[in-house]
Amino acid sequence: MLKKENAHFDNLMEIARVYDEAKKAHEAKKQEIIDTYSWDSEELKGWYAEKAYMTFPISQGACKAYRAFCESIEHENEELQMDDFLWESEVEDFVSCLKEAGIGTFVYTNQSTAVMENLHGFAAAGCKMDGLCTIKRWERRFGENREKEILGIHFTVC
CA atoms within 13 A on the CB side of 133: 16
Domain that holds residue 98: 60-157
pLDDT digits (tens, 9 = 90+) for 85-139: 999 999 999 999 999 999 999 999 999 988 999 999 999 999 999 999 999 877 7
Q: What is the CATH number for 135?
A: 3.30.110
* pTM, full prediction: 0.83
Same domain membership, residue 122 and residue 145: yes
pLDDT digits (tens, 9 = 90+) for 29-60: 999 999 999 999 999 999 999 999 899 999 99
150/19 Cα distance (integer angstroms): 36
Whats the size of the chain, residue-wise? 158
Q: What is the CA radius of gyration of the chain?
A: 20
CB 87 within 8 A of CB 60: yes
